[in-house]
Amino acid sequence: MIDDLRTLVEVESPSRDREALTASAKAVAAVVENRLGGRAVLVESPAGPHVHWSGGGDPRVLVLGHHDTVFPLGTLARRPFRVAGGRATGPGVFDMLGGLVQAVHGLATLDDRSGVEILVTADEEVGSHHSRTLLEERALACGAVLVVEGAADGGGLKTARKGCGNFQVSVTGRAAHAGLEPEAGVNALVEAAHQVLHIASLGRPEVGTTVTPTVASAGTLDNVVPAEATIAVDVRVETEAEKTRVEAAFAALTPRLPGAEVNVAGGVGRPPMPPAASAGLFSLARRLMPDLDGHHVGGGSDGNFTAALGVPTLDGLGAVGGGAHADHEYLEVGAMPERAALVAGLVEALRSGADRPGEGADRRAFSRSGGRG
């Protein structure tokens, strides 16, 4: 597993870089084919190639991940792959190349892989705009989804996720000389300040809704009344009702200054993943590993999309570690065999059609896959 992880990390794969993502997809496909046999197909898209592998037979379970990362080319030179002190470090080890490696090696322990599919997309980190149709199609065909994103704190699984999205608020005013006749202008920066305060008030943390202005820009020169301003806003919601409320509130934004204009783009692109979507699969996972915890998390994944379809979805089955999207990203090497075995145990139970198998059968499957049980 360490060798395969090194291979994937050392092929950098920043989102939106088609050349790099093509090389990364080929590396992922080679690892899959080497460990599982068969053919891993590269599915071309405007974002870069997705990787799809099938064990044949009637589809029963989809193992879902992505190979794009948030780190720009050159990060590897500054932060090369290393294993020291029980941890692997390097760009993408936790989010989420480690999870891919664990899943593949877990499946390699199974004698029968029929009914299993793997889909590794190329644009999850930037919204899954070019993979959503494909991943939803395969999720519906398989009927159960195991997402190998990094684990929650302490190695827990992700049993619910907030819906998440971004809004872009554009303010148009009118330029004027800031000293000679500021009254002739319409100050887009002042209008943006009004909008930011109102937007921030839309959050309802008591029900899990956060509305956070994150990036703003305005103006051209220090002696010119700003004619334009922009505001970026991050939104997280736990329910469809809150998604509807927040989107309606953004659509209703109106200018406070005479002559100003306000336009809004964006929305909550990833719907919430409710606890009900993972309940059955999480129960099965706890039969395999009784000490597992379930966590509700604010970040989104492709599991949000599959859960919204009504397909049972369990997330956070990937690497144990931390520091996603940060320079201190790491993976706990000692947890890799057990996590691989957990994926294998879940897949074997689902592949066999035993959605709620008895505890003895579950534990035997987990034991054969190498887990502690």
308: domain CATH number is 3.40.630.10
Give me the residues paired with residue 186 across strands.
174
For residue range 53-65, list pLDDT tens digits in order. Answer: 999 999 999 999 9
Residues with a known catalytic role: 68, 124
Q: Supply the pLDDT for residue 80.
A: 98
Do 191 and 244 belong together in one domain? yes
For 329, the token pair is 């990203």
Sole residue written with tokens 């997280």: 236
Task: Report the predicted TM-score, pTM, of the whole model to 2 decimal places.
Answer: 0.89
Tell me, what DSSP letter sits at residue 109?
Answer: T
Do 237 and 297 belong together in one domain? no
Decide if 350 is inside a domain: yes
CA 58 vs CA 114, 115, 116, 143, 325: distances in Å: 7, 5, 8, 11, 37
Gap between the terminal Cα atoms of the chain: 21
Do 119 and 177 belong together in one domain? no
Q: Supply the pLDDT for residue 352.
A: 78
Domain count along the chain: 2
Task: Give me the domain span that covers residue 53.
Answer: 2-161+273-368
Do 148 and 167 belong together in one domain? no
Cis, bond preceding 336 (omega within 30 deg of 0): no
Q: Cα-atom radius of gyration of the chain, to the nearest Å?
A: 23
Q: Supply the pLDDT for residue 159.
A: 98
Sole residue written with tokens 């592949």: 351
Quick one: average pLDDT of 261-269? 97
- Banded model confidence at residue 364, pLDDT cuts 50, 70, 90: very low
- Closest by alpha carbon to 121, among 66, 201, 178, 48? 66
Do 319 and 253 belong together in one domain? no
Decide if 373 is inside a domain: no
Quick one: average pLDDT of 312-319? 98
CATH number at residue 214: 3.30.70.360
Cα gap 146→313, rounded to integer Å? 6
Inform me whether the pLDDT recorded for 367 exceeds 90: no
Q: Supply the pLDDT for residue 351.
A: 83
Cα gap 241→65, rounded to integer Å? 28
Q: Supply the pLDDT for residue 354.
A: 55
